[in-house]
Structure 1
Amino acid sequence: MAQAALRKETPDGADPLADYLGVLQMPTERLVERVRAGFPFPELEALRVRLGMTLQEAADLAGIPGRTLARRRQAGRLDPGESERVLRIERLFALATQMLRDGDRARDWLKSPKAALAGQTPLDYADTEVGAREVEHLIGRLRHGVFA
């Protein structure tokens, strides 16, 4: 599986894919700097692999049209808006992986429709910041045993 190439052993046995970019523990100031500078293109590639998608599917999630994707690949860097959307997806993946303790299960959860999200998948629902916050709230409720 493609994710195997990204896996590294961790001393505590945690899934190393849970927070691949460090979005849950990186200081906010550092995240802001990285987003403003634009993520290196390989971070979109790495997210694509973890989500089990084609590059175009991952780019669609991040709101990057096909022609722009080709330019970003050539330039080697995403713009700040695209980086922010990649960060949004990465954060949801990290939170879902923490909740389910497994990157593969988190990926499947994010791609499966949820009644609490009007029948949409968490990834589709998170195409806006407001939707992403609702997915985060859903993850929080599930982690704390609140199913409604």
Structure 2
Amino acid sequence: MTNTATGITIPNHPQAADLLKVLQTPAPQLVERVRRGLPFTELEALREPLGLSLQELAAYAGIPSRTLVRRRQAGRLDPAESERVLRIERLLALATEMLRDVERARDWLKSPKTALAGLRPLDYADTEIGAREVEQLIGRLRHGVFS
């Protein structure tokens, strides 16, 4: 799959979803990137693997439509928005590692889960606490713990 916004080809293998290297980058570097604010192109790069429009992805990241327009013009997200985008990308990367397929991971993140009170993982992860719960669910599933 090729991301039309960035021209990056995303092969369908586990590392493909870690497009922004969130799982491979040391925490201090991620903290610094978030503090500076992620480039707007990173939000665009995450859109296609998730199969979402830019507006849908922005909504998951808590970025209102009018703010999205301003961020596109500025070319950079603010730190709070960057942290929420990184949270979503981390979940995609973890789900892809678990399922070994970007498309299956995307479908998993968009499907209701009993362990998450019937909510979709992307919806449940709208807070940091919810995202941690989704990460824990992925961990349990990876280790064969029925959830």
Q: Smaller-chain TM-score range?
A: over 0.9
**Displacement, 1:49?**
1.1
The residue that corresponds to 1:46 in the other structure is 45
TM-score, normalization: structure 1?
A: 0.92
**Displacement, 1:7?**
2.8
Structure 2's unaligned 5+ residue stretches are: none
Q: Report if aligned partners of 1:122, 1:135 keep a CA contact under 8 Å in 2.
A: yes
What is the letter of the counterpart of residue 31 of structure 1? L
Cα-to-partner distance string for 1:91-126 (whole Å, 9 max, x where unaligned): 000000000001010000000000000000000000
**Following the alignment from structure 1 to structure 2, what is the Cα–Cα distance between the partners of residues 104 and 44?**
18
**Following the alignment from structure 1 to structure 2, what is the Cα–Cα distance between the partners of residues 139 and 108?**
14
RMSD value, Cα:
1.7
The answer to whether residue 89 in structure 2 is matched with residue 90 in structure 1 is yes
Map 1:46-125 onto structure 2 (within 5 A).
46-125=45-124
Structure 1's unaligned 5+ residue stretches are: none
Q: Report if aligned partners of 1:72, 1:78 keep a CA contact under 8 Å in 2.
A: yes
Q: Report if aligned partners of 2:23, 2:93 keep a CA contact under 8 Å in 1.
A: yes
The residue that corresponds to 1:145 in the other structure is 144
Q: Per the alignment, in what secondary structure is the counterpart of residue 6 of structure 1? A: coil
**Following the alignment from structure 1 to structure 2, what is the Cα–Cα distance between the partners of residues 18 and 51?**
9
Aligned-pair identity (%): 71
TM-score, normalization: structure 2?
A: 0.93
Q: How many residues align?
A: 145
Q: Per the alignment, in what secondary structure is the counterpart of residue 39 of structure 1? A: coil
